[in-house]
Amino acid sequence: MFRHVTRSIGLVSPMRSTAPVMHHLATTPTLQTRFQSTVKPQAPVWIQNLLDEHEGKGYLLADAGLPSQGVSWGEIDSFQHVNNKVYLAWFETARVNMFLKWGTDFQRFMSGQSIAPVMRSVNLAWRFPIKFPDQVTVVHKIDQILDDRFILKGVVVGHKSKKVCARIEEVIVAVDYTKGATKCSIPDDMREFLERKKREQGAGEYDAQI
């Protein structure tokens, strides 16, 4: 049941191009509202201790895009635990919510104008089943910043099990839509922003393996 998967996910670019089809990271109402409620939940503090002990440095509850997200009955499959595809939706929503928390500077990078971040691939490992009822907290951190891409790592923590139930690695590339949606270097201002966020997260050399 639990396995690794690596895949590229795509959404057709509004411009004609022979470049590979990739998934644009601009915010949409669906992504912003799917898991939102009028009450802003808080993740329990024990999660920070769990992540520091088992996942290395870099994960901050302040960056959690889905803190204390309730598991719904509709997310359960015939094996009586959360369906594998739900984890991708959790990670996607948590990532976008984190970007929104980062403020207007990063949101301009996500706007799809000129140079924008595009999801290239994900590597997702399911570690431990989550059942109903339960809550999860989903947190990302910046792992690497390269010339044309940055890499995020993320975890889903089950509140009942108090375990990391899934890990993900997401590769996000910079694409220049003024040049036929081709890969390009990350703009200097965005690189400086990402490097500053990585320093704030305090990411260390040790990371748990996917």
CA distances from 189 to 95, 186, 196 (A): 20, 8, 11
Q: ∠ at Cα 163 (49, 198), nearest 5°?
A: 50
pLDDT string in tens for the chain (210-residue length): 444 444 433 333 333 333 444 455 555 444 444 544 445 789 999 999 999 999 988 999 999 999 999 999 999 999 999 999 999 999 999 999 999 988 877 877 877 778 999 999 999 999 999 999 999 999 999 999 999 999 999 999 999 999 999 999 999 999 999 998 999 999 999 999 999 999 999 854 444 555
Residues sharing a CB contact under 8 Å with residue 86, sequence separation 6 or more, in sequence order: 75
Q: What is the pTM of this model?
A: 0.78
**Contact of 113 with 192, CB cutoff 8 Å:** no
* Domain range annotation of the chain: 4-199
Compute the distance between CA of residue 32 and CA of residue 29 in angstroms, rounded to an integer.
5
- Domain 4-199 CATH class label: alpha beta
Establish how many alpha carbons lie within 13 A of residue 189's alpha carbon, considering only the half-sphere containing its beta carbon.
8
